[in-house]
Structure 1
Amino acid sequence: MKHMITRLFRRLHLLRFDFLTTRAPKIPDRSMIAPEELTVVENGDIKKWACLNCPGGCGELISLSLNPNQRPRWRITEDFWSRPTVHPSIHQKNACGCHFWIKKGEINWCRGGRPSNLGQRRNR
């Protein structure tokens, strides 16, 4: 229900986001994650992974470790509207080469981190 209200507020230009947080008990495959979803894989109260489809358009599934005892690792927080903030930045090392932050659900591209074939589609 909250996601429906959040999307309505977005449509009315009252709220901005590129991603909303969803939850799953295991790592989903790429086809199970919608373009506007960042899926947090949890076991009980333990966050294990954050999964999202690469916003650069290469089609890669990005899986970020949330394990505090592992390196590299990321932290995910979310606001009332389920908009995620990811720390540190996400840098794809494949041909796509995306480098970006997610803050309050919005993609913030690092300098030189936006793929040239992306155009203005996600220019924020």
Structure 2
Amino acid sequence: MNWFNSFLRRARARLDRWLHPPYRTLMAQEALPKKLRRKTIYIVEEDGFEEQAAMLCPCGCRRVLHMNLLPDERPCWRLTRHEDGTASLHPSVWRKKDCGSHFWFRRGRVEWCRETDR
């Protein structure tokens, strides 16, 4: 029975990846585009430094979330880019105003924290 449960977990994970593809990672030089696309994380680079990550809030409120990537300013996130083209942010993103979204962004996917399960 263990092999069957393992098979079901793998099948579900594959189906989930197919039905919900990861966010795209796009580089922006010096400034964000005027209109951001859904399911896309933008990395703003200036003078060779990754300064910020930005995305539309995944809850659907359409607010732009800006995550500082410069270590000498607070708050600060760490960006990891993976070989498969996806990105991760650490620590979690928590919008304390308006919608209150709180999530982890791992390998191009939003993982909601318990208090804001969507």
Q: TM-score, normalised by structure 1?
A: 0.74
**Rg (Cα) greater in structure:** 2
Map 1:45-84 → 2, pairs under 5 A: 45-84=48-87
Matched residue type, 1:79: H
Q: TM-score, normalised by structure 2?
A: 0.77
Q: Can you give the 5+ residue segments of structure 1 that lack an aligned partner in the other structure?
A: 1-9, 116-124
Instruction: Name the % identity.
Output: 30
Cα distance, 1:21 vs. partner? 1.1
Q: Larger relative contact order (C-alpha < 8 A, sep ≥ 6)?
A: 1
Of residues 96-105 and 43-52 in structure 1, the stretch that sits farther from structure 2 once superposed is 43-52
User: Which 4+ stretches in 1 moved above 2 angstroms?
Assistant: 13-18
Matched, 1:19 2:23: yes
Q: Can you give the 5+ residue segments of structure 2 that lack an aligned partner in the other structure?
A: 1-13
Instruction: Provide the C-alpha distance between the structure 2 equivalents of 1:101 and 1:30, rounded to a whole number of angstroms.
Output: 25
Q: Which residue is equivalent to 1:104? A: 107
Cα distance, 1:27 vs. partner? 3.1
Matched residue type, 1:100: F
Q: How many residue pairs get matched?
A: 104
Matched residue type, 1:41: V
